[in-house]
A and B are shown apart, each in its own frame.
Chain A
Amino acid sequence: MTAITDREMRAYVSQQAADARVNVEIETEGMTLNIGPQHPATHGTLRIVVKLDGEQVIAAEPIMGYMHRGYEKLTEVRTYPQITTLINRIDWVGSFANEVPFVLAAEQLMEVEAPERAQWIRTILFEMSRIANIVLFLGDLGAQLGGVTAVFYAFRDREYVLNQIESLTGGRFHPNFDRIGGLKDDLPKGWVEETKVVMEKVRGFCDEIEDLLVGNEIFQARTRGIGVIPPEVGLAYGLSGPNIRASGVDWDLRRDAPCGLVYDELDWKVWTHPDGVSFARTWVRLQETREATKIVDQLLDGLPGGPIMAKVPRIIKVPAGEAYVETENPLGAMGYYVVSKGDLNPFRVKIRSASFNNVSIVPWIMRGVYVPDVITILASLYFILGDIDR
């Protein structure tokens, strides 16, 4: 009789363990499936643990924090211009939009108002970051649902917007352009004309996506009736942005609390949809992109001349106090609560990010849907991991 080698013993034990695992899985009620943290559909490192019964979800739980970078702690040891650089990276897709509420809060504490031209250009960049963000959403939605071509069209047209942002600020993804009291620099020659051409191209893209994806019957069959969010539930969970507007709630911070951005001088519309389904969220975002291009066109036409930066001291020391400013970022309502004790660094910055609240509805909304619908709902809620985890 030959002795059993170590290797054989280990193989035998692992075989038994595998059998036991499989048996346990088959006999228990509901199979636990881990969607993420490495998954093509979760926009980053989000982990969702779902308990399945066949293909139907019994319970779902999102587990965040795989990308936590400690922003709020970092801001305690950085000066204000340095923080502006860092917070570009919270929502890295529409990155100028992250700087705006922070700078507005600091300006509120310093009681400085940016000159008019700076406010107009700020609004232009804000809307362009919205366009960049939502164009990516439209492409990505196609990818999640299986229509891979939409991604390429989205990135192609997003390139034009990013090129414009780069020719103005120097950085495609992280402009780092907002300063307390104004902006860093002025527009280069020819920028206004080029941007108008780009807005026309984005409108063409919106039409293309409508033909390719949104008007497609398969897409509509996948998204209509899926992921219904009644308005009370949405408001209770703290949803914001297009997610809540798709449930019929007419709430837009650009119109209701413009502070520092020039929306009240323009002619534009807030889009809502009564259904509250995934299709509604997609549709509202598509219309918002079109609206954003029109807003940018109006802004470019009416751009006033003037200085780009108010008189602020070289070394910025924000006087003591607290300020909270919330703006309508592409992902939702983003707010910064800045507490200052009169130093170079803020004492505390609390970041209210839109995606964190948007994802909190996941356990409620995922009850009873199928696995493919999980992906559809996640795609239509649209979060960016940097925004959730900060």
Chain B
Amino acid sequence: MSVLADISALDPYWAQTVLKGAVVALVIPTGALILGWTFLFKMMAHMQSRHGPMEAGPHGLLQLLAEGVKFLQKEDLTPDGADLRVFRWAPAVVLVSTFLLYVVIPVGPDLIVEDLPTGIYYALAVSSLSVIGILMAGWGSANKYSLLGGLRAAGQLIAYELPMVLAVVGVVIQAGTLSMQGIVYAQAEGSIFGIDWFGNPFIITQIVGFGIFLVAIQAELTQPPFDMPVAESEIVGGYQVEYSGFRFLIFFMGEFGTAFAFAAITSVLFLGGWSVPFIDPSDNIMNVIGPIAMLTKVMFVSFLIFWARFTYPRFREDQLQKLAWKVLIPLSLVNIVVTAVLKVVF
């Protein structure tokens, strides 16, 4: 009996919703914690020839928990002259967009919160909601630095939506479906030019799309080299500069939660998701192996994202925009055309 069928049989409907909501609410901090400890603390530290946090817990495992507690017990400051309602609701809007992203991420054949038939389309649409939150933060902080950061964010995030979407179109053409589980099955059961046992992870045929998608999510997460909105040495935190304590914690969780979600989406789209070669994807054992495989792939993609983050200086705003409009979009359009032609021919 599949797990999803059990849950769907629960009556009334609200019990289902509460359960699913609880799962999402638990996974986000956990995902953020894992990413934060591994990459933000340890990997960044070792790349910089140092240890990172070592005191809180063995090898600093509890450091993020300690920081969470620290943030929670800070004073709730609001700047004088801030638009209070906008200021207070901005972090919540950003976090809501993160929560909604986790709804369509599959970690096993039955382990998905809701298998929407338009899965990937929904995910891309919902991820753009965070722009509103950032603009609200930029405006509501009554601070010129925040305003600059918010405006930069608006330009950047909207510009990089297009390459992100267009890079995915190639994958969708190859998979033939928009649903996330469908894309995983298409990769697990597909074949590359006749070779059958390996499956068909789309990274091999869609390498250009993979590259464009990675660059686009780096920009969507406002990570260096695309972190103009939060340029720490220029506008000192941009739209986040007036937020302290609990509200900053929400921004932080939103950022790392979204990074986890985007890495998961990348591994679903390009690396085969929870499927593993040699094992039949509809097997029940995949409910156990799937999450592990998914976590490994997420870690790999996050490694790439954070590796670029710690190495590169940041682009200037106009160079950023030039890169998006003049390089990534034409490249992704060419990718779509080539994929479509090859799909018809082969």
Contacts and interface: CB of A to CB of B under 8 A. Distances in A.
Direct contact of A and B (CB under 8 A): yes
Interface of A: 14, 17-18, 21-22, 25, 31, 33, 39-41, 55, 142-149, 152-153, 156, 212-213, 216, 218-219, 221-222, 370-375
Contacts of B48: 148-149, 152-153
Contacts of A149: 47-48, 310-311
Given A18-B142, A153-B49, A144 B233 contact: yes
Interface in B217-238: 224-225, 227-228, 231-236
Contact of A40 (B144, B236, B312): B236
The main secondary structure of chain A at its interface with chain B is helix
Given A14-B80, A146-B232, 7 more contacts: A40-B233, A41-B234, A142-B313, A143-B233, A145-B233, A212-B311, A370-B316
A387 B145 CA distance: 28
B148 interface: yes
B234 A221 contact: no
Contacts of B313: 142, 145-147, 213, 216, 218-219, 222
Contacts of A372: 228, 231, 234, 314, 316-317
A34 to B, nearest CB: 8
A213 B315 CA distance: 13
B231 A146 contact: yes
Contacts of A143: 233
B312 A216 contact: yes
Q: 5 tightest CB-CB pairs across the interface, nearest first?
A: A146-B314, A18-B81, A152-B48, A145-B313, A147-B313
A55 B151 CA distance: 10
Contact of A375 (B50, B234, B310): B234
The main secondary structure of chain B at its interface with chain A is loop
Contacts of A152: 48-50
22 contacts: A14-B80, A17-B81, A18-B80, A31-B144, A33-B148, A41-B234, A55-B148, A142-B313, A145-B313, A146-B224, A146-B231, A147-B312, A147-B313, A148-B310, A149-B310, A152-B49, A153-B48, A153-B49, A216-B312, A372-B314, A372-B317, A375-B233
Nearest to A220: B313
A146 B142 contact: no
Interface in B267-316: 310-316
A55 B49 CA distance: 36
Interface in B191-236: 224-225, 227-228, 231-236
Contacts of A21: 81
A218 B315 contact: yes
Contacts of A144: 233-234
Contacts, number: 90
B67 interface: no
B321 to A, nearest CB: 12
B318 interface: yes
B236 A146 contact: no
In the complex, which range does the number of interface residues on chain B fall in? 20 to 34
Interface of B: 47-50, 80-81, 142, 144-145, 148, 224-225, 227-228, 231-236, 310-319
B234 A147 contact: no
Given A40-B233, A41-B234, A222 B316 contact: yes
A206 to B, nearest CB: 16
Given A216-B313, A370-B317, A33 B234 contact: no
A261 B71 CA distance: 55
A41 B80 contact: no
A159 to B, nearest CB: 11
Contacts of B145: 33
Q: Which of A18, A149, A213, A219 has the most CB of B within 10 A?
A: A149
A31 B145 CA distance: 11
Nearest to B47: A149
A240 to B, nearest CB: 26
Contacts of B224: 146-148
A218 B234 contact: no
A28 to B, nearest CB: 13
A216 B308 CA distance: 12
B317 A146 contact: no
A41 B234 CA distance: 6
Contact of A41 (B148, B233, B311): B233
Contact of B234 (A31, A148, A212, A371): A371
A216 B224 CA distance: 14
A40 B311 contact: no
A359 B286 CA distance: 65
A373 B316 contact: yes
Contacts of B144: 25, 31, 33
Contact of A221 (B148, B231, B236, B315): B315
Contacts of A213: 313
A374 B80 CA distance: 28
A41 B237 CA distance: 13
Contacts of A371: 148, 234-235
Contacts of A145: 233, 313-314
A29 B225 CA distance: 32
Contacts of B318: 370
Contacts of A22: 81, 142
Contacts of A40: 232-233, 236
Nearest to B147: A31
Nearest to B322: A221
